[in-house]
Amino acid sequence: MDPAERLAVRLLGPLEVVVGRRPVDLTTGRLRTLVVTLALSAGRPVTVDQLAMAVWGPDLPIDVRRTVSTYMTRLRNALGAESIVFDPAGYVLRARPDDVDALRFDSLLDAAARAVDPAREAELVDKAVSLWRGFPFEGVHSAWLEAGEAPRLVDRYLSAVEHRAHRLAVAGRGADVLPLLRELTALFPLRESLWARLLVVLDRCDRPVEALEHYEVIRVRISRELGVDPGPELQRIYRELLGRTVTGSVPEPRRPLEVVPRQLPADVHGFAGRAVEVEALDGLLDDEADQGVRAARIVVIDGAEGVGKTALAVHWAHQVAHRFPDGQVYVDLHGRDPASRAMSPAEAVDALLDSFLVPERYRPGGVEGRAALYRSVLSGRRVLTVLDNARDAAQVRQLLPGGPGCVAVVTARTPLTGIVVALGARTIRLDRPTVDEARQLLAHRLGADRVRAEPDAVVEIIDSCGRLPLALARVATRARARAGRPLAELAAQLRGRRAPDLPSDG
């Protein structure tokens, strides 16, 4: 691409797109969503399905590929003919990662994690924080982005600010960060770690009375909205303030790279059925009543392509996420297709350590050492881990937690007998749903009245889809887009065809 046409995208605040020195005003909401989604993977392909979910969510257009292609043509017209290329894996935005502020933000914090010199680490964190101009993707409306990347970026930013505030307070420069802490505690009034930094900074600025007043504000708010007292760190700071003994010994907050992970994909729209399987998963948590349990609880969900393994795992994980306050981790192991490259155990362990943003300099060599470190990170914590699309037991064995308080859910197309035998994992064999369950799924997505009005057409649609949840979901999306037309018409179109547009996961 011509340097004069170099593309820069700013996502950490109101969306800004610049080609060369020319600002590009994308007034259409869908074009704005598309460019954000592409920019988050700058230089790498984004699939048509991912782009469609970001723009339309579950209400996909009838012809997804053609519609996405039309919008891509419009986006190229705005950004330049060479700005977006298409390859078999999807669409690629030809921008350098350093020219996308959200990617540079992540890169700077990752580099800070690897830095050995504290001064260099501080410099990198400061640069990362300085990139922020407001909430990510302001002016872009996408439930997919709002549920995924936006919260992750915000959480990482807040942790970086907390880390920076601690460092400046210790250095006697707390006043430099005080205005930002005031602004952020107003925006995130229940984030106790932010309030802890504010109280310490105020005290370091010789304003202990104001710090005590702020503690009372947050104490009342937490009590009123959550029905609990402030956590141990805030209470300890309060006691030290009362005793006029704040000496700078307040522990450093979580480093920017040690945040509590909230990585679950968006919950499944219109999830229905699977009551028996959900009850079996709930049984994992019932084990907590057994005081003899001294190991992590592990379950393997196996079944054929398209039966809804990922949907069940993700949906259940969302239902019980509140039971795991120390984090919910999700890793796609890419083992669904024997012809594709699955994630190696070493890569997967590193991905898990990345979830807790463990600095590289603390990681031992070798997969066994890193796996042991990961189990140490989980020790004493309550963390839910979803390991999706495992290829075999060897890929998964090093990735599982060891101690109580943690739960791991693994999905695979084939039984992982080695995990069951060695670690006592439970298994849930997921078959195709019954006709009644398939009908319930369609009713959730299309409305019970519409399904009830055409029982024969519904049965034919279910048969054409082979009772596969992913195929049923895709067909339901098409039916919703044609709300005024009979289901019998859609059933006739599907007659004699294989399960339509079946995605390659699940």
- DSSP letters for 42-79: TTS-B-HHHHHHHHHTTS--SSHHHHHHHHHHHHHHHH
Among residues 160, 144, 158, the alpha carbon closest in space to that of 50 is found at: 144
Among residues 207, 175, 195, 188, the alpha carbon closest in space to that of 235 is found at: 195
Locate all alpha helices (DSSP H) within 365-430, ordered by sequence. Answer: 367-378, 393-396, 417-423
Is a pLDDT exceeding 50 seen at residue 247?
no
pLDDT, average across residues 63-67: 90
- Residue 250 has a pLDDT of 42
83/20 Cα distance (integer angstroms): 12
HSE on the CB side for 12, CA within 13 Å? 21
- Residue 445 has a pLDDT of 78
448/362 Cα distance (integer angstroms): 55
pLDDT in tens, 324-369: 988 899 999 988 766 668 889 999 999 998 888 777 766 777 888 8
pLDDT in tens, 3-55: 557 899 999 989 999 998 889 988 888 999 999 999 999 989 999 988 998 99
pLDDT in tens, 395-425: 998 899 987 889 999 999 888 888 877 788 8
Instruction: Give Cβ neighbours of residue 323 (< 8 Å, ≥ 6 apart).
Output: 285, 382, 384
* Residue written as token pair 């006029």: 244
Helices 309-320 and 275-286 pack at an angle, to 10 degrees, of 50
Count Cβ neighbours within 10 Å for each residue of 71-109 and write b for 16 or more, e otherwise. bbeebeebbbeebbeeeeebbbbbbeeebbbbbbbbebb
Strand-by-strand arrangement of the 407-412 sheet:
328-332, 384-390, 407-412, 297-302, 426-429
Among residues 81, 99, 76, the alpha carbon closest in space to that of 11 is found at: 99
169/188 Cα distance (integer angstroms): 21
407/392 Cα distance (integer angstroms): 19
Confidence tier at 258 by pLDDT (50, 70, 90): very low
Token pair, residue 426, equals 């439970």
Distance of CA 165 to CAs 158, 162, 174, 179, 256, Å? 10, 5, 7, 11, 11
Instruction: Give Cβ neighbours of residue 217 (< 8 Å, ≥ 6 apart).
Output: none
- Residue 4 has a pLDDT of 53
- CATH number for the domain whose boundaries are 275-429: 3.40.50.300
pLDDT, average across residues 428-437: 84
Token pair, residue 475, equals 């067909």
Strand-by-strand arrangement of the 16-19 sheet:
7-10, 16-19, 22-24
468/431 Cα distance (integer angstroms): 9
pLDDT in tens, 186-232: 888 889 999 999 999 998 888 888 888 888 888 888 888 888 888 88
Architecture of domain 159-259: Alpha Horseshoe (1.25)
Distance of CA 241 to CAs 99, 170, 208, 244, Å? 45, 16, 7, 5
* pTM assigned to the model: 0.53
476/268 Cα distance (integer angstroms): 14
Q: Write the Ramachandran bin of 389: left for phi over 0, alpha for psi from -120 to 50, otherwise beta.
A: left
Mean pLDDT, the chain, rounded, equals 84
pLDDT, average across residues 62-82: 90
Among residues 306, 245, 257, the alpha carbon closest in space to that of 121 is found at: 257
Q: How many CB atoms lie within 10 A of CB 345?
A: 19
Distance of CA 161 to CAs 46, 115, 169, 193, 483, Å? 31, 18, 12, 10, 48
Is residue 384 within 8 Å of residue 324, measured between CB atoms? yes
Token pair, residue 256, equals 């920017």
Question: Please, what is the Cα angle at 285 between 281 and 287, to 5 degrees?
Answer: 110
145/51 Cα distance (integer angstroms): 11
- CATH number for the domain whose boundaries are 1-147: 1.10.10.10
Is residue 205 within 8 Å of residue 175, measured between CB atoms? yes
- Residue 320 has a pLDDT of 92
